[in-house]
């Protein structure tokens, strides 16, 4: 029982450090802000992909209109909780991208194996949160109708996955690479 409490306490400490890492410099904060904004735009546009394609193919300058209109529609369909989950996921993704960039830079040589370890984690967590949008984009509109709580459970699942992995990684400046992993990851 004591080992469990220690492990949970360590996870929370690493999670707080991972959340605080983008605040350590202006460049990191800017990276996190850009990644957060881009993630939010992609998530909102994927909620109604046909509408997004029609508006943006007519005039790409109407991106702001599309994001505002779809944010309103997301609010009307999923409520304040749904919008809150979208924002929380976008923030966590911004932090995860900033931390992933730091991990890749920290490796002396960013080999294909290093990037192959970072990119699938971001994509897998992204698909879990915007699953409703991805299903709609793939033509499975009927599947969206059977999702409980307007897809909010998928969003919660994606947020929990991102939080779990951020808590495991912690602050990328203190991440240690073992000697056996160095040879496998292409880091010397």
Q: Once rounded to an integer, what is the mean pLDDT over residues 23-46? A: 91
CB-based contacts of 61: which residues, under 8 Å, 6+ apart?
Answer: none
Q: How many angstroms separate the Cα of 64 from the Cα of each of 35, 60, 104, 144, 176?
A: 17, 9, 32, 25, 42
Q: Once rounded to an integer, what is the mean pLDDT over residues 45-61? A: 87
Largest CA distance in the chain: 60
Cite the beta strand spans of 37-149 per DSSP E.
Answer: none
Phi, psi of 146, rounded to the nearest 5 degrees: -95, 0
What are the tens digits of pLDDT across the range 66-117?
999 999 988 888 788 888 888 998 998 899 888 888 877 776 554 555 555 5
Report the percentage of the chain scoring pLDDT > 70. 68
What are the tens digits of pLDDT across the range 56-79?
898 889 999 999 999 998 888 878
What are the tens digits of pLDDT across the range 165-186?
888 878 877 755 444 444 444 4
């Amino acid at each position: 029982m004591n080992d469990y409490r220690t492990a949970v306490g360590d996870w929370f400490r690493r999670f707080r450090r991972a959340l605080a890492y983008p605040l350590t410099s202006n460049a990191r904060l800017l990276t996190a802000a850009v990644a957060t904004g881009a993630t939010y735009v992609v998530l909102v546009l994927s909620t109604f992909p046909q509408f997004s394609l029609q508006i943006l193919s007519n005039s790409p300058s109407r991106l702001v209109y599309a994001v505002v209109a779809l944010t309103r529609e997301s609010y009307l369909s999923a409520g304040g909780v749904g919008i809150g989950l979208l924002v929380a996921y976008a923030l966590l993704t911004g932090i995860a991208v900033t931390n992933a960039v730091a991990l890749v830079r920290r490796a002396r040589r960013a080999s294909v194996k290093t990037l192959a370890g970072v990119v699938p984690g971001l994509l897998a967590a992204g698909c879990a949160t915007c699953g409703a949008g991805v299903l709609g984009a793939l033509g499975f509109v009927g599947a969206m109708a059977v999702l409980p709580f307007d897809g909010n459970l998928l969003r919660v699942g994606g947020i929990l996955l991102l939080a779990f992995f951020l808590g495991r990684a912690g602050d990328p400046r203190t991440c240690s690479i073992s000697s056996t992993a160095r040879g496998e990851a292409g880091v010397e």
